[in-house]
Amino acid sequence: MLDRKSLRTDAEFVAAAVRARGLDLTALIEEWRILDERRRTTNATLEDLHRRRSSDAREHAARVHQSSDRVATEDTVERRRAIATLEGEAAALEERLTAIELLLPNIPHCSVPVGADERANRVERVVGDPPTFSFEPKAHWELGTALGILDFEKGVALAGARFTVLVDAAARLERSLINFMLDVHTREHGYREMQPPFFAHRRCLIGTGQLPKFEADLFKIEGTSLYAVPTAEVPLTNYYRDEILPEASLPQHLTAYTPCFRAEAGSHGRDVRGMIRQHQFDKVELVHITTPDESWTALEQLTGHAESILRRLKLPYRVVALSTGDLGFSAAKTFDLEVWLPGHGCYREISSCSNCGDFQARRAGIRYRPTGGGKPRFAHTLNGSGLAVGRTLIAILENYQQPDGSILIPEVLKPYFGGDKISRT
């Protein structure tokens, strides 16, 4: 959620920043400005009426004390009616203002590349060389099917399209990756491990920005306000919703494994083969809650923590700064980590590391009180995948494939996996 002061005093800047994202919300912002002016006028009138009512009440109390006249004057009755009417108008205006604010995306940071879509993204660095093969590398769906460890047909039979059953070694590899990632982030990077619910209230998804805009991408439990979490970013960020934290307790570094559930409403026809775009997938999430002074350093740190997993697995990847047109709704700046997939012949996203500034904190009411005293301030929130587990599994299958169709296990995973190779049994 944007600062109302910015919307009020710099509406043209906000509208231009939103246009840089490829959205023209000028009319909506202008509606907000007009309604805000009306709301402030209404509130000023209400304050005046309340003052007059208080003054009249004191005068009436004095008269009652001196006589037996306890009947309210006609002016008093009319004033009460006027106050009730204006309070209703003020509440309706506030509701509409908030509804508009929830539809406005975050303002891109000044360092974000300006462009209409992913073609304007900027490659920051490339780490590792794509492997060379003496044979034509296969995609993960071919490898997994031949090895009998990825069952796409049974996934469809059990739950429909975009679901997959991991069998034997693939299931063990998925579990190994989850444990490996959590161990690195907690033991070496200092994160607190959490095990949050896999469902969240509507207010929590509003807090992190998935609602109301992306309702169609979520799975909702009918008859409740609960949604299956699309990412652990939702429960981890909302863990401190409506709280005021002491500055000394910041930064907070939280991590959690959760399954993630996404309807992928806007992706029909994209990545229909394999496990790239699933309705259910596993992810280890990283969340930082910190002060404004530290958040940009924190973005580099969080990105580095996600990168360390790829480095240890010796998977080639690149870091990409997303352009204004490719930026997520809540993000002020995002670095995508894209892993090389030989079977696809391209880099694919495996983590998005974002600084949301105070955008989510305003929506979720996450504040901190400065150590030196003073009014509470909104915290800054950051999040990133550390990593998307299913896509990491895909990357291992494709990058570590052998001429006979077997898959070598990365050195750091061998103690978790309990072996050094996946072969056809």
Point out the residues that are catalytic.
Answer: 262, 277, 349, 352, 391
Answer whether 247's CB lies under 8 Å from 223's CB: no
Instruction: Give Rg (Cα) of the chain.
Output: 27
111, two tokens: 């360092």
Distance, in Å, from the CA atom of 31 to the CA atom of 9, rounded to the nearest integer, reads 14
**Alpha-helical segments (H) within 102-168:** 140-147, 152-159
60, two tokens: 């009436």
Query: What is the amino acid identity at position 216?
Result: A
Helix axes 26-66, 11-20, angle to 10 degrees: 140
Residue 418 CB partners (closer than 8 Å, separation 6+): 172
7, two tokens: 């919307």
Q: Roughly how many angstroms between the first and final C-alpha of the chain, as a whole number?
A: 54
145: nearest Cα among 417, 405, 409: 405
348: nearest Cα among 311, 396, 395, 312: 395
Distance, in Å, from the CA atom of 250 to the CA atom of 297, rounded to the nearest integer, reads 14
Element of type H or E holding 49: helix 26-66
Residue with tokens 């993204």: 121
Residue 320 CB partners (closer than 8 Å, separation 6+): 121, 122, 123, 124, 335, 336, 337, 338
Element of type H or E holding 395: helix 389-399
| DSSP assigned state of 331 | -
CA count, 13 A, side-chain hemisphere, 265 = 8
Element of type H or E holding 284: strand 280-290
Q: Cα angle vertex 228, ends 223, 234, to 5°?
A: 120
Question: Is 82 exposed, middle or buried, given 0-12, 13-18 or 19+ CB atoms closer than 10 A?
Answer: middle
Distance, in Å, from the CA atom of 290 to the CA atom of 57, rounded to the nearest integer, reads 48
Q: Which residues, listed in sequence order, are joined to residue 288 by a DSSP beta bridge? A: 253, 382
